[in-house]
Amino acid sequence: MKKKITIRDVAREAGVSVTLVSFVMNAKVRPDGRLDCPVNVNTAKRVLEVASRLGYRRNNAAASLRSGRSNSIALIVSDISNPFFAEICRKIENYAGQQGYTVFFASSDEQVEKFSHLMDTMTGFNVDGLIVAPCLGAEAVLKKYAEMGVPIVLFDRDIQEGDDDFGRVLVDNVDAGYMSAKYLIHQGFGKIEMISYKNGVTSLRDRETGYRKAMEEAGLSDEIRIHRIEYDAEVAKKDVITIFRDAAARGCEGFILPTKKMAIYGFNALNVLGLSLPKDFSFVCFDESDLYDLNKPVVPHVIQPCDEIAGKSFALLQDMIAKKELSKEEKQVTLKAQLVLGGPFGAKPTAASF
């Protein structure tokens, strides 16, 4: 049986101390590619070459016990297959990788029991912190771990409890819903409706609030209709078909579809019912999709600043892991979305003005 290579073997072969090897093997990689450790560049290179040749593998569990740090974080979203969350996950993984962090990913499926289990599991792996899109009812679980000193950054959704315990990177979703409705009103439409989920996550509630505000300002309070559908994809598809069939019969002119998945259900319903854009309805959708760009005319859509969300979420979590003194303002980041027209298959995307 082949002998397991230890840190002492690497030190002996490289002609350096065990401590020096430990410095090199545990160092983070700077953006310029150099190791962040007090070791001569050539010496560090020699140690890495020896470690690679001998087949040495760092014992992450042991290193974590010694240092109290694992150089890993966890990212929990509702559904990692959701295009919006998938993009955020990928970008956070890139930012974290540049700083020497490993990222664990998980989906809560909007179930508080599963979310609680995932929090237990991830903290059991001794992750240094978590970035979380909380599901409805997750407040107690998050509060418990925040009180234990676990750094946690919330993104996309908010919770009402523990204002000073969490970092937050959120989009101004009230404004996003407001400008979606405002755009359709500006196009001359009065019968504008919105589809949302029954699960009541804060991002969608805020978009509903913005929609209502724009309709009320325009004197269209009597036309406000918010249809809440199930989160399950197969049920949601059928719900949207029913909503569109009834809406066409009563003369609805436009829909706000506040997630990319809802937009997909909307296009599916058009196809099933033999309806079309903009003949039967006009849409304002959310996030980016080839569906919007391939449609003629290109569907107006709200773009969330995914790169900023990812970068600021990871940077804030890093500060919290490092126990930096942060003001309430520094721990709460609010970003703006943008309503755009056009896209890569049509005209160059431009911000809508109205």
Q: Cis omega before residue 297 (within 30°)?
A: yes
Contact partners, residue 330, CB within 8 Å, separation at least 6: 316, 319
- Cβ atoms of 261 and 285 within 8 Å: the answer is no
Contact 310, 75 (CB under 8 A): no
Q: Retrieve residue 15's tokens.
A: 């002609």
Dihedrals phi, psi of 317, to nearest 5 degrees: -65, -40
Residue position matching structure tokens 């002998």: 3
Q: Where in the chain is the domain with CATH 1.10.260?
A: 7-58
pLDDT confidence of residue 143: 92
CB contact at 8 A, 260 and 301: no
- 331 has which bridge partners? none
pLDDT tens digit at each of 354 positions of the chain:
457 788 888 889 889 888 888 888 777 666 566 777 778 888 888 988 988 888 877 665 555 444 446 789 999 999 998 889 999 999 999 999 999 899 999 999 999 999 999 999 999 888 999 999 999 899 999 999 999 899 999 999 998 765 678 999 999 999 999 999 999 999 999 999 999 999 888 999 999 999 999 999 999 999 999 999 998 899 999 999 999 999 999 999 999 999 999 999 999 999 999 999 989 999 999 998 888 877 777 889 999 999 999 999 999 999 999 999 999 889 999 999 999 986 443 445 455 555
Judge contact between 234 and 266, C-beta under 8 A: no
- The pair of three-digit structure tokens given for residue 258, joined into one six-digit string: 């506040």
CA distance 29 to 100: 6
Strand (E) or helix (H) holding 209: helix 202-217
Quote the radius of gyration of the chain (alpha carbons, Å). 25
State in words which class domain 7-58 has: mainly alpha
* Tokens (6 digits) for 174: 């009230």
What is the per-residue pLDDT for 353? 57
pLDDT of residue 297: 77
CATH class as words, domain 70-171+307-335: alpha beta
Least Cα distance to 314 among 135, 103, 85, 80 occurs for 103
Q: What is the DSSP string of 220-238?
A: -GGG--EEEE-SSHHHHHH
The domain 173-304+340-351 having CATH identifier 3.40.50.2300: the answer here is yes
pTM of the model: 0.77
Contacts of the segment 347-351: beta carbons below 8 A, 24+ positions apart:
347/298, 349/303
For residue 37, the model assigns a pLDDT of: 76
Element (H, E) at 12: helix 7-14
In the chain, CATH 3.40.50.2300 sits at: 70-171+307-335, 173-304+340-351
Q: For residue 9, what are the contacts with CB-CB under 8 A and spacing of at least 6?
A: 54, 56
Rounded to whole angstroms, the Cα distance separating 200 from 112 reads: 13
d(CA 330, CA 119): 25
Task: Classify 29 as helix, strand or coil.
Answer: strand
